[in-house]
Each structure stands twice: as structure tokens, then as C-alpha cells.
Structure 1
Amino acid sequence: MSATKFLLSMALPLLFLLSCKATKTDGNSHTIPKYSPIDAALHQSIAAMDATFFEAYNQCDLEKQASIYSDTIEFYHDKGGLMTSKQGIIDGTKKNICGKVTRTLVEGSIEVYPIKDYGAVEIGYHKFYNNQEPDAPSIPSKFIIMWQHTHKEWKITKVISLH
């Protein structure tokens, strides 16, 4: 092999390696950013609606719950499937929840994002306690609620409940 061919065969890989730019990361490039409300007033409104709805849930105020659910409610439960009957959801709550289960919000877990020309989406964690087994542990579970703002009212149009 001639000296020129040898130098070229060594120079090309070296040039390739030198052309690859090493980038330094701060170590946080794969972390999820801390949530900060986009709209503090919207966050406050949805947090208040969440509290109102789940107070009615915990107190078995079925009329109040029904007034907050949209007539076109879609309730997706990872274990129970999809329910689209508002009355069916209310009846199921009366039968399976009233006096038996209490919901608590995991403090500071609510995230609220505006949905243009619709309302907002709420994402958070909550716990459900079986009142008949007070020592049973409750594991936080994720929920997603779609809130529609119409006629100066907030209505729940979709719920995704994950356990």
C-alpha cells in the first residue's frame, strides 16, 4: 500500500469522527417538566368544580352529581368499560358507591389545561377508600376529566378512570 493510500484510509475515518459533534446535556434532558398552570383562574375554577362534584359524590347527592354530568357523558373505566348512560352512571353510583366508598384527591396532583373553544381537561390522582374496610390500603389512581364550558356552566363530558 502506498503512503498516500494509507494516509487517505486513516484520514477519512478520522475526519468522520471529528465531524461528529458531541453534545453535552445537563442531565435533565429526559425529565418531565414540573407542572405550572397555564391559566391560574381556569385551574382554580376546575379545582373548585372537582371539589364540588366529589363532595356530592362522597355525600351521595345524586341530584347534584347528575346536574354536573353532561347528558352526553362518556365514562371510561379501565376495569368496568365504557358507560354512556347518565342515568346508568347515577344508578351505579347509588348502588355501588353511596355509603360504601369515599374519594379523596391527592393533594397538589391536579393539572388543568385549556381546550380552545370547548373548556378544559383535568388530570390528577385520587384515592378511594372502602368505608366497610377502613384499614384497607388505598392506592392513588389516575383520572382524566373533560370539562365543557357552556352557558356559563361547567359540565363533565368525559371521564377516564384508571386504577
Structure 2
Amino acid sequence: MTPKFLNKNAFLLFFTFLVGLHFAQAQEKKVAPTSQELYNEISAMDTVLFDAFNAKDMAKFKPLFLEDLEWYQDNGGLLSYETVFSNFEKMFKNENKLTRQLVKGSLEVHPIKDFGAIEIGVHQFKHMENGKEEIGTFKFLAIWKKVNNEWKISRMISYDH
């Protein structure tokens, strides 16, 4: 039978090892900081994108997406580029005055090395239905890719509907 003090000492040694390992891993984790320049660029692109959306300006809206777009929606599944823009064309013809606004303070931007950026945020959509204003607040994540010095969305995830 092993004396109790050895079990206690073995436990303390093992615990110290785990704590040390955790701190070593935490120090090795290198997260690329978001520059103010990148944050400002993606914030500006969000504005360009949804100014075009709110104006129902397909000529300005559609070119902001790559043709290999994948759009994931929690209640709609995976949508292709063709399906997404067929849906937007129908939506833009509606007279319900649908508009989108970014929720102030919700925007996050994170760099993706040698590719682009991740945009995370919360937005509100408003429209008229049966003479009453309807408001929905949803979350989104967009993957922006810099192509020939222009920002384009390659992936969109819309959720929490």
C-alpha cells in the first residue's frame, strides 16, 4: 500500500504539470491582432453592401460576392450563388420596404492570413407587413476575400433567426 503523502505529492506534481502545460500553450497561441485599417475597411464594405441592399441596387450589390459563394442559413440550409441572387431579385421587387441596419457596437473583424477577413455582427431587418413594421434581429458571419485589391464575400452564415 502506498503512503498517503506520496499520493498527495503525486497529485500536486501532476496538477503543477497541468497548470504549467496550460500556461505554455496559452503563451504559444498567437492570435493575429485586427488592425484599425482592416477594421475600417470591412466596416466600410459592410456599409457599401447594405447601402446597395437597402436601395435594392442589384448592379452594386451582386458584384460584392464571389461566384463560388456559399450562403449558409440556419433555417434555409446551404444556398448557392444562383439561388441567393434569384431570391434577392424576387426580394428587391417586393414593395415591403425591407431595410437592414447593423446593430451599433456588434461588429467584430478578424484577419485571415493571406486571404481576407472574418466579419461577425448582429443586424436588424425592418419591413412593413399588413400595415405594421416588423423587426427581426439576427446574427451573421461573413468571410471576405481580397481579390485584385477589392473585397468580396466568399461565404456568408446567417443564423439565430
What is the TM-score with the length of structure 1 in the denominator?
A: 0.73
Distance (whole Å) between structure 2 residues aligned to residue 143 and residue 58 of structure 1:
17
- Alpha-carbon contact 1:113-1:121 (below 8 Å) kept: yes
Q: Aligned-pair distance for 1:85?
A: 2.5
Say whether 1:44 aligns with 2:40: yes
Instruction: State the SS of the aligned residue for 1:63.
Output: helix
Say whether 1:141 aligns with 2:138: yes
Alignment of 1:7-86 (within 5 A): 12-13=3-4, 16-17=7-8, 38-86=34-82
Q: Aligned-pair distance for 1:71?
A: 1.4
Greater helix share, structure number = 2
Q: Aligned-pair distance for 1:17?
A: 4.6
- Alpha-carbon contact 2:125-2:135 (below 8 Å) kept: no
Say whether 1:151 aligns with 2:148: yes
Say whether 1:92 aligns with 2:87: yes
- Alpha-carbon contact 1:102-1:131 (below 8 Å) kept: no
Distance (whole Å) between structure 2 residues aligned to residue 12 and residue 96 of structure 1:
75
Q: Aligned-pair distance for 1:16?
A: 4.1
Residue among 105, 117, 124 paired with 1:127: 124
Task: Mark the structure with the bigger radius of gyration.
Answer: 1
Question: What's the Cα RMSD here?
Answer: 2.4
The percent identity for this pair of structures is 36
Q: Aligned-pair distance for 1:96?
A: 2.8
Distance (whole Å) between structure 1 residues aligned to residue 139 and residue 110 of structure 2:
16
Q: Aligned-pair distance for 1:58?
A: 1.0
Q: How many residues are paired up? A: 139
The aligned amino acid for 1:109 is: S
What is the TM-score with the length of structure 2 in the denominator?
A: 0.74
Distance (whole Å) between structure 2 residues aligned to residue 53 and residue 113 of structure 1:
18
Instruction: State the SS of the aligned residue for 2:114.
Output: coil
Instruction: State the SS of the aligned residue for 2:68.
Output: strand
Instruction: State the SS of the aligned residue for 1:131.
Output: strand
Greater strand share, structure number = 2
Residue among 95, 102, 108 paired with 2:105: 108
